[in-house]
């Protein structure tokens, strides 16, 4: 067809998972293109913690130093019940890899990934929304609509997004990294399965005079989890698991504006409610709060795709599954899996589609079994005789909130005298 651009791999969605996959592919010499419906990277902190294992992934790409320089190292996590400190776990006791996790706003991470992609010769095609795809022989025919902002109205000016052009692409493989509300999942007719109970969190960023001392805080009380992470420059973020709210899935759309209109926020995100939540739910000293900054209320449905591949499309990141926000598990697994998916694509470049599908399915099956394990920690963790009984009882909530994925997660669990069984790493990286 006239005007149809051919590309080996198309990545849909320039979130951290899509950009990471595109970067690995570009560095491996693949002809890759990446499109995103939004006008730019996100502007808020969102998922803030990078696990030591994720830093290893970034190191393999040669960008760990740059990311670490932009973040704040987390050395320990202090665990509280509703009144007092119970135990701490230390990331610097792990003998291999990075002896810390990293706190970095997602906006900063995305900006670095975009810049690295540009340096690798791949420019994100912003404002391009993929609306459909269909099989075209052994490849896919994809339509992406280019959007532009148009001013309307006279008395009150108003901007709306309009389609100015549609482009047609042909790709051998499509990585669908189009996020929690994935449209491509619907186009593929894929049903998503429950992985656990839906959760809702409200989070507040604030400026404080308390020295963060490279520490994250966690409390579990009356069946609800509260967590605090330090960000850069005297900013901290408190996240409260919250019952009694049902939030729309549009609250999972990432922010692209630089200012939040405080007048539009609901009551449960105002200062009075923040102070009340701190009083009722935070047993550690948060310091003097000089300013409340960004706030958000976000739904987290725990769910997954039973098979992440559908024909020539592979679902990655939040489009394939989602967890609760504590410990930023979705982001970290997504980045690690993005590297693996991209490696399989590179390793099967010369093979016929059947072989690539087989290899992607092996990886997909292993990812699914890992997600199930992480969603069902009660079944794969065993407290020991010397585990604090309160820790043993609350171990699922505690372990799920730790800033670690595989070996480091096992090490942190060991410090709590809990053993945890996790699958081995996929051979794509061995
Ligand atoms: C306010 C907020 C707070 C959060 N806090 C936390 C937290 O504390 N901890 C945590 O773990 N997670 C948190 N998250 C979730 C976290 O941001 C995601 O897990 C993470 O972004 C997933 O990365 P991803 O690359 O899979 O998808 P995303 O980052 O969502 O990227 C998907 C991209 O696809 C683009 N896109 C969508 N549809 C199309 C289309 N049809 N065509 C082209 N492009 C498309 C979108 O514009 C987007 O840029 C938060 C999210 C929000 C919104």
Q: How far apart are CA 273 and CA 279, in angstroms?
A: 10
Query: Which residue CA neighbors atom 3 of ligand 1 most closely?
Result: 46
In a domain, 116, yes or no: yes
Q: Are residues 371 and 342 in the same domain?
A: yes
Q: Are residues 293 and 313 in the same domain?
A: no
What angle is formed at CA 314 by the lines to CA 143 and CA 358, rounded to 5 degrees?
Answer: 130
In a domain, 135, yes or no: yes
| Mean pLDDT, range 186-191, rounded to an integer | 93
pLDDT at 427: 59
Whether 90 lines ligand 1, by a CB cut-off of 6 Å, is no
Burial class (CB in 10 A: 0-12, 13-18, 19+), 417: middle
Query: Which residue CA neighbors atom 21 of ligand 1 most closely?
Result: 15
In a domain, 246, yes or no: yes
Residue 55 gets the label, from left (phi > 0), alpha (psi -120 to 50) or beta, of: alpha
User: What does the pLDDT look like over 161-184, one tens digit per residue?
Assistant: 788 899 999 999 999 999 999 999
Whether 317 lines ligand 1, by a CB cut-off of 6 Å, is yes
Q: Are residues 410 and 425 in the same domain?
A: yes
In a domain, 86, yes or no: no
Q: Are residues 10 and 23 in the same domain?
A: yes
Which residue among 300, 319, 337 closes a domain? Answer: 300
Secondary structure element (H or E) that encloses residue 159, with its range: strand 158-176
Question: Which domain does 29 fall in, by range?
Answer: 4-73+92-191+304-429
| 8 Å CB contact between 126 and 149 | no
| 8 Å CB contact between 345 and 312 | no
Q: Are residues 321 and 399 in the same domain?
A: yes
Whether 14 lines ligand 1, by a CB cut-off of 6 Å, is yes
pLDDT at 154: 58
| Mean pLDDT, range 269-284, rounded to an integer | 96
Q: Are residues 341 and 417 in the same domain?
A: yes
Q: Are residues 259 and 317 in the same domain?
A: no
Task: Domain count for the chain, please give it.
Answer: 2
In a domain, 79, yes or no: no
Q: Are residues 68 and 105 in the same domain?
A: yes
**Residue 211 Cα to ligand 1 middle (Å):** 30
Q: Are residues 139 and 46 in the same domain?
A: yes
User: What does the pLDDT look like over 278-302, one tens digit per residue?
Assistant: 999 999 999 999 999 999 999 999 9
**Residue 47 Cα to ligand 1 middle (Å):** 9
pTM: 0.95
Q: Are residues 263 and 344 in the same domain?
A: no
Q: Are residues 270 and 309 in the same domain?
A: no
| Strand spans (E) along 266-396 | 289-300, 303-304, 309-310, 313-315, 321-322, 381-383
Q: Are residues 361 and 410 in the same domain?
A: yes
In a domain, 51, yes or no: yes
pLDDT band at residue 1 using 50, 70 and 90 as cut-offs: very low
Which residue among 234, 268, 300 closes a domain? Answer: 300
What angle is formed at CA 39 by the lines to CA 111 and CA 62, rounded to 5 degrees?
Answer: 20
**Residue 58 Cα to ligand 1 middle (Å):** 19
What CATH number does residue 268 fall under?
Answer: 3.30.70.2450
Query: Which residue CA neighbors atom 11 of ligand 1 most closely?
Result: 328
| Mean pLDDT, range 341-354, rounded to an integer | 96
How many Å is the Cα radius of gyration of the chain?
22
Half-sphere exposure of 87 (CA within 13 A, CB side): 21
What CATH number does residue 362 fall under?
Answer: 3.50.50.60
Whether 179 lines ligand 1, by a CB cut-off of 6 Å, is yes
In a domain, 328, yes or no: yes
In a domain, 85, yes or no: no
Query: Which residue CA neighbors atom 5 of ligand 1 most closely?
Result: 46
């Amino acid at each position: 067809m006239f005007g149809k651009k051919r590309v080996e791999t198309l990545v849909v969605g320039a979130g951290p998972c899509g950009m990471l996959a595109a970067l690995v592919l570009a560095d491996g010499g693949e002809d890759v293109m990446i499109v995103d419906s939004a006008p730019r990277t996100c502007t808020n902190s969102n998922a803030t913690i990078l696990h030591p294992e994720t830093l290893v992934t970034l190191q393999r790409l040669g960008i760990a130093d740059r990311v670490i320089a932009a973040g704040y190292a987390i050395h320990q996590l202090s665990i509280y019940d509703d009144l007092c400190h119970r135990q701490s776990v230390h990331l610097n006791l792990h003998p291999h890899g990075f002896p810390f996790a990293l706190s970095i706003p997602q906006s900063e991470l995305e900006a670095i990934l975009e810049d690295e992609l540009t340096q690798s010769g791949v420019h994100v095609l912003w404002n391009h929304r993929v609306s459909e795809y269909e099989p075209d022989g052994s490849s896919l025919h994809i339509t992406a609509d280019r959007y532009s902002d148009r001013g309307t109205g006279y008395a009150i000016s108003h901007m709306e997004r309009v389609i100015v052009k549609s482009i047609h692409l042909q790709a051998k493989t499509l990585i669908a990294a189009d996020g929690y509300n994935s449209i491509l999942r619907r186009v593929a007719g894929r049903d998503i399965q429950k992985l656990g109970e839906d959760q809702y969190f409200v989070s507040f960023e604030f400026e404080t005079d308390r020295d963060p001392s490279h520490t994250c805080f966690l409390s579990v009380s009356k069946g609800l989890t509260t967590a605090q992470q330090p960000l850069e420059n005297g900013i901290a973020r408190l996240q409260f698991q919250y019952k009694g709210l049902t939030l729309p899935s549009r609250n999972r759309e990432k922010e692209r504006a630089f200012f939040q209109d405080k007048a539009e926020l609901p009551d449960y995100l105002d200062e009075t409610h923040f102070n009340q939540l701190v009083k009722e739910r935070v047993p550690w000293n948060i310091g003097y709060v000089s300013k409340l900054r960004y706030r958000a209320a976000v739904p987290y449905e725990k769910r997954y795709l039973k098979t992440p591949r559908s024909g020539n499309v592979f679902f990655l990141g939040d489009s394939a599954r989602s967890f609760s926000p504590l410990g930023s598990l979705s982001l970290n697994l997504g980045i690690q899996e993005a590297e693996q998916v991209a490696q399989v694509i590179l390793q099967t470049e010369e093979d016929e589609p059947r072989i690539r599908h087989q290899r992607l399915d092996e990886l997909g099956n292993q990812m699914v079994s890992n997600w199930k394990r992480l969603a069902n920690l009660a079944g794969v963790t065993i407290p020991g005789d010397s585990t604090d009984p309160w820790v043993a009882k609350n171990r699922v909530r505690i372990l799920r909130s730790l800033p670690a994925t595989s070996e480091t997660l096992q090490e942190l669990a060991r410090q709590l005298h809990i053993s945890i069984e996790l699958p081995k790493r996929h051979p794509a990286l061995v």
